[in-house]
A and B are shown apart, each in its own frame.
Chain A
Amino acid sequence: MNRAMLLLLGIAGGFLLALGALRLGLLEDAGVPVPGAFDEATQAAAGDDDDGQDDDDDDDDAVPQRVVVAAGRRYVRLDDAEQALAGVASERLGTTMLSPERQVVGIVADDLVLAAQQAALTLARERRDAQAATLAVVRERLARLRGLAGQGQLGAAREIAELELAARRERERALQLAEHVAQAEQVLATQWGGELVARTAPGSALAAALASGETALVTFALGAAGEPPAGVAVGIDGVREQARAARVVAPAPAVLAGSNRASWHAVVAAPALRHGMHVDVWAETAHEPLEGVLLPDGAVVWHGGRRWYFVQREAALFERVALPAQPPGLAAAFLPASAAGDARVVTRGAQTLLAEEFRGAIPDEDDD
């Protein structure tokens, strides 16, 4: 076997050993850089250049770090040019006094029924009183006769018996009439509530107003039992601007059987309303007007189960602040004056700032 063949066999053997080592990954384990004519082609899986990372993220490397932590607080930092490019705008929002309202549906009560029941009650009372007077007279006569009988005057016993019988009859009648009064009072109390009944007693101003037809009685359910809503307005067709101011006059028994909300009676000057109509009722949910600002939609962002807004603390620093608990009945997010202060609230671009702060949560959409 000549030298050439020996050398050739040696080379072939060497290659076979190298192949085997490659298969077993021994070369790489030993830290030997594995050559390959097309090694570069396989770098496609990791990226186009040689910095060992995905070229997709090379673009992100150009993005500056914009979240800063100072004194335990996180800020997003954007310079003027970045703010202009991202369209981030902030302003000092002037505070106003707000009366949050809730809108519910009320029913125009049939005040004629109330009036009739009041009249019936009055009649029953008068009859009861009259009966009481009659009974009193009978008892007085009976007492006099008993006195005469005690003095031994003849004929008094039969009169006494008759009077006692009459007294019993009158007492029974008085009791019946008292029962009628109690029933009438109960019906009124059950249907209308005691306070309304008292305030719409015959001859009262309220009763007269209702009777005139110029005033309507509206019953609605709102919130929990307790203090009545401060301001109420009533309207039809759901147009708040056309609603009329109403006045809560008394609590009401439950209007909606399935509701857990307290019910109230209110009166409103609205001759067009007819009993049985369903009307819109706007009721203020806070007794004292609230001082603060209503934040525009673009200023509020949701994250982690809460609502937030951004405040521009310095020219280039923005801080995310949690929105406080919201009073019910407001059409937009509310910031009390104590929180708003003199702060510049971000009114446009809040979502951009949120995304910048949580840049790590932005998914790599091309990873599939």
Chain B
Amino acid sequence: MLSQLVRFSIERRAVVLTLAVALIAYGLVRLGDAGLDIFPEFAPKLVVVQTEAPGFTAEQVEARVTQPLEAALGGLVDLAYVSSESIQGLSIVTLVFDEHSDTYRNRAQVAERLAGARARLPAAAHEPVIAPLASSSATVRTIGLTVSDDDLMRLRDITETVVVPRLLGVAGVADVNVFGGVERALVVAPDVNALARHRLGLDELAAAVARAAARPGLGVVENASQQIAITASGDELDPQRLGSAIVRARGLERVRVEDVADVAWGGLPRISAAQIMGRPAVVMMVIGQLGANTLTVSNALEQALADLAPVLAQQEVTLHGELFVPARYITTAIGEIARHLLVGGTLVLLVLLVGLYDWRTALISALAIPLSLLAAVVVLVESGVNLNVLVIGGLAIALGEVVDDAIIDTENIYRRLRTALPGTSFEEVALSASLEVRGSVVYATFIVALVFVPLLLLGGVSGRLFAPLGLAYILAVIASLVVAVTVTPALCVALLAGRSGQRAEAPVFRAINPWYGRAVAALARRPGVALAASAACALAVVIIMPGFGARFLPDLREGHFIVHTTALPGTSLDESLRMGGNVTRAFLAIDGVRSVSQWAGRAERGADTYGSHYSEYEVALEPMSGPRQQAVLEALREVLASHAGWSFEANTFLTERIDETISGYTAPVVVNLFGRDLEALDRTGAEIAALAARVPGARNVRLRAAHTTPNVSIALDPGRLARHGVSAADALAAVEAAYAGHELGEIHRGNRRVPVTMMLPPATRARVEALAGLVVARHAAGAVTLGDVATIRQTAGRYNVLHRDGQRLQVVTAEVAGRDLGSFLDELRERVLAEIAFDEGMHAEFTGAAVEQASARRELVLHALVCTVGVLLLILMAVGRLRYLLLILFNLPFSLLGGVLAVMLGGGVVSVGSIVGFVTLFGITVRNSIMLVSHYDHLVRVEGEPWHLDTVLRGARERLPAILMTALVTALAMLPLTIDSDNPGREIMGPMAAIIVGGLVSSTLLNLLVMPALLHRYGRFAAGQGR
């Protein structure tokens, strides 16, 4: 089939070349249209439902919001499991679907169920909201606003009415999470003493305010001809008008709202706060839609912000538009890769010119690069795979590979043309020369592709991240194979025909050949030396490699850091900002830090659903090198470690996103305890935690859902309630009205809805002692306070309540040091089941990263083993004899030695990128070895040469240009990436390229010197004994 394909390509070369030109043109068009993103979509398929329940404790949220929602959302198609978290004021239900389910159908199912679930929720809870469909990278941009007079209410008004609507109008924006500022409300702050003086209760005041704020629809006047709408004016509500509303009219007495309350523009209770460079601010995170192109959306946002700038400046608002711009990293990374492609491609061209000594031949080989890469791009884009840093990285790695096939083919045709007999048909020479090397090249290509297959089969987030890289690489090398069997022969015939007598060997090879021949001859006469050298290198590799460290990804130099701090639950927003202000000043003192912004708490519909004790910081850097960025990161961590009272993390955005998504359990050992009773769960969980701490090897044992947040408990006394003639509902309604804020109506300012709410003044709400004096009812004889009907005391409450599949959950996590995870988990399981008494209905599940890791590793090893068998079979088929297979395998460590040394010099840490480098090296070595064996076989079997030293030398010299050029081309293509590999855009591919460059040195020595010597000693080529 291959011979027919090559023959067709030569005979119909015009067609083939036209198709090639069309492919290049189409590929360039698709490349131009293709979206560019940082990483592929790697988040699992999940739908998050958030329900705000202001004023509810975690236990109340669990009982009254979360449980009804879970009941309503169970049993959906493709639902894997449901987990939930109930925190103060918010319910978060996360539905995780099967990896292969349809995202939109999942959301449709959830929306359908939610429509019916609302009726089961308390009136005070807001409508359940499905979090917007966002990309895995989530944040497209973070911007902030500050105002000259630090009026946070005005700032929030501007944010909500001007900025957010404009940003939401940008294509590709899913949501804007707003932190900070103060949400405006028309606040009625009752004066409890004035109410008492006027013998009024909160309920009467609330009723009066609700009446004043009511704005019903007025209907229409309809006659035979027309329908005329009725509208009212002069009823716009503001503090003055609301204050003059009547609460009680009795005889001549008029008690107005302003007599018993302060009415003013005020703020709703905050759930978030923010500051920029230590100044109060509003911070907005712009979230991208699923599948949206980060670069395109970011550029559109840039335009939108430019449009807004004059409007904001008029209102003395400063726009901080670049607190975090992920697209910068894409631009930098793509730019680096583009530069690499340019420099590498130029170096490749130079090598081809020097090595082939003919510009046409060099051009033919070089054209394989754009053809192969663009073909791969077309396939990827048409398959719906977005171009991202990893995909483009895969193509960049393949740069050196894709040109090798063309070099081998072109060099062989060129050499055959030089030695062809006069009068021989050019097409026949090209055909036979092409077919001579075709089989080996095909085998080698498939071997390399097969080695990447385990990457494609990797499950979970790892697979979603790295499969596109593997796919891009495989597509590129397969495309290069197709190019080598079609376009290259066609181009050779088209450009080289009629020049058969004018080809000379390249001067560089003319100079090297004598020396090379002597070296090969010397080593061939002493095969023991070659064998010993190979064995020694193998030993060295085996000794050195296990000592390497391992990491998933290298540190990415994004020019930006995300810092998280978590204080004790119950820490107020103001305290979080105070602590944040401390470190902000310290961060800004670090050389290279451009800006620092902080937000504390959470935003509505935000993905981060934490309390006021949690803060996140965006630390933007000046442009700087990778090592300097690392130094800044260490300085940040030093500052954070020096600040007491919190736990922290500091990382780049992408590393953090991957870490958040990649691990369902960040702790190695996790004990999930399921049960019905929260107190019993806490008690048993604490026992398990205490026991786990005693198991040898345990470290950092934690109980996740602990009692840590301060609560005020109001224990209503039924007897006292009855004595005072007050119902429990009335008493609690008064507390709600005073502390949670009771929305009594709404007004509209322009396009903005402003709630009218009643709430005690902040100074009163700040004192727990004021609760006892809260008037809950009023009789003719006087007032009844909360202290009259309840016992009020301070307790420790729950920060959160966890569920899994509708069951209450307590989690104990632990780390392990000094022993293997598996045995620790086994011992823990055994002791827990033996020593802990579980209440009825309670059971434990033992899992964690250990279990996940073992499962993932088994899958990987399984796939790798299957592929290894396939690779060995292919090598055997390519070389024909078992002894040659064994020779190739025996010498493989020699070829890898250079890569191993490159890892050592680079810090001794291996990442997934490094493994890709080793795999590439393996492929190159195997291919060159196959080529050598095949060539010797051709010389003996086809050309009738006897198998002796001269044949060995001849074959080695004939293969020298191809081997040397492919090695040089690949090495030089990778070389630009190895320089300053710790810089933005080169982090993943730099170590990979270093391994390839280092490994090519040893691999080339192997194939040029060691293999010919060992084949001379152990090879058994004979005429008639073909493959």
Which A residues are in CB contact (< 8 Å) with B660?
A: 366
1/0 per residue, CB under 8 A from A, across B841-873: the answer is: 000000001101110111011101100110010
* Closest chain A residue, CB of each to CB of B876: A8
Separation of A304 and B552 alpha carbons in the complex (Å): 42
- Contacts A4-B882, A86-B582; A39 near B550 (Cβ below 8 A): yes
On chain A, which size bracket covers the interface?
35 or more
Within 8 A of B (CB), among A93-118: 103, 105
Asked whether B666 lies within 8 Å of A366 as measured between CB atoms, the reply is yes
A12-B869, A46-B668 as given contacts; A356 in contact with B645, CB under 8 Å: yes
Contact between A49 and B551, CB atoms less than 8 A apart? yes
Stretch among A58-66, A134-142, A162-170, A206-214 lining the B interface: A58-66
Asked if A362 and B191 make an inter-chain contact with CB atoms under 8 angstroms apart, the answer reads no
Given A56-B649, A365-B566, residue A43 in contact with residue B853 (CB < 8 A): yes
Let me know if B912 and A40 touch, CB within 8 A: yes
The answer to whether B392 has its CB under 8 Å from any CB of chain A is no
B205 CB → nearest A CB, Å: 16
Bound Cα distance from A39 to B914, whole angstroms? 12
In the complex, A305 Cα to B658 Cα: how many Å?
40
Q: Is the CB of A105 within 8 A of B857?
A: no
Name B561-588 residues within 8 Å CB distance of A. 564, 566-572, 575, 578-579, 582-583, 586
Residues of B within 8 A of A55 (CB): 659
- Minimal beta-carbon separation of A261 from chain B (angstroms): 9
A86 and B645 contact, Cβ closer than 8 Å, known pairs A45-B662, A278-B198, A305-B793: yes
Q: How far is the CA of A355 from the CA of B613 in the complex (A)?
A: 10
Asked whether, in the complex, the Cβ of A367 is within 8 Å of the Cβ of B549, the reply is: no
Q: With the chains together, A367 CA to B670 CA distance in Å?
A: 11
Say yes or no: A60 contacts B647, CB within 8 Å.
Answer: yes
How far is B645's CA from A218's CA once the two chains are assembled, in angstroms?
52
Whether A11 contacts B860 in the complex (CB less than 8 A), given A351-B645, A356-B644, comes out as no
Question: Are A257 and B644 touching (Cβ within 8 A)?
Answer: no
**A62 and B865 in contact (CB under 8 A), knowing A37-B454, A363-B566?**
no
Segment of A16-24, A147-155, A335-343 in the binding face: A16-24
Bound complex: CA of A36 vs CA of B866, how far in Å? Answer: 12
What A residues does B783 contact at CB under 8 A? 105, 256
Of all chain A residues, which has the CB nearest B770? Answer: A331
| Cβ of B784 under 8 Å from chain A | yes
Asked if A362 and B646 sit within 8 Å, CB to CB, the answer is yes
SS class, residues of chain B in contact with chain A: mixed
Contact B860 A44 (CB under 8 A): no
Would you give the 0/1 interface string for B29-62, flagging 1 where the beta carbon is closer than 8 Å to chain A? Answer: 0000000000000000000000000000000000
Q: 8 Å CB contacts to A: which residues of B768-824?
A: 768-769, 779, 781-784, 788, 793-796, 799-800, 813, 815-817, 821-822
Is there an interface contact between A52 and B794, defined as CB atoms closer than 8 Å? no
Q: Are A52 and B817 in contact (CB under 8 A)?
A: yes
Contact residues in B for A362 (Cβ distance below 8 Å):
566-569, 613, 646-647
Instruction: State whether B552 touches A258 (Cβ < 8 A).
Output: no
Cα separation A353 to B552 with both chains bound (whole Å): 36
What's the minimum C-beta distance from A68 to chain B, rounded to whole angstroms? Answer: 13
C-alpha spacing A56/B649, complex, angstroms:
6
A34 within 8 A of B: yes
**B817 and A53 within 8 A (CB):** yes
Most chain B CB neighbours (cut-off 10 Å) among A3, A35, A55: A55
Residue in B closest to A3 when the chains form the complex, CB atoms: B882
CB of B911 within 8 A of chain A? yes
Contact A54 B666 (CB under 8 A): yes
Instruction: Contact check, B575 vs A48: say whether CB atoms are below 8 A apart.
Output: no
Q: Flag if A44 contacts B704 (CB, 8 Å).
A: no
Given that A56-B666, A238-B191 are known contacts, is A34 also in contact with B861, CB under 8 Å in the complex? yes
User: Residues on B close to A: CB < 8 A?
Assistant: 83, 85, 94, 191, 193-194, 196-199, 451, 454-455, 458, 461-462, 466, 549-553, 564, 566-572, 575, 578-579, 582-583, 586, 608, 610, 613-614, 637-650, 658-660, 662-663, 665-668, 699-700, 702, 704, 706, 708, 710, 723-725, 766-769, 779, 781-784, 788, 793-796, 799-800, 813, 815-817, 821-822, 849-850, 852-854, 856-858, 860-862, 864-865, 868-869, 872, 876, 881-882, 909-912, 915, 919
Known interface pairs A258-B788, A302-B768; 8 further A-B residue pairs with C-beta atoms within 8 A, sorted by A's residue number? A11-B872, A15-B865, A19-B862, A37-B454, A37-B860, A85-B642, A88-B644, A105-B782
Q: Could you name 25 residue pairs across A and B whose Cβ atoms are closer than 8 Å?
A: A15-B865, A15-B868, A15-B869, A38-B912, A44-B663, A46-B850, A46-B853, A49-B549, A50-B549, A52-B817, A52-B821, A54-B667, A59-B640, A78-B644, A82-B642, A85-B583, A87-B582, A236-B197, A258-B779, A259-B781, A326-B769, A356-B645, A364-B704, A366-B649, A368-B83
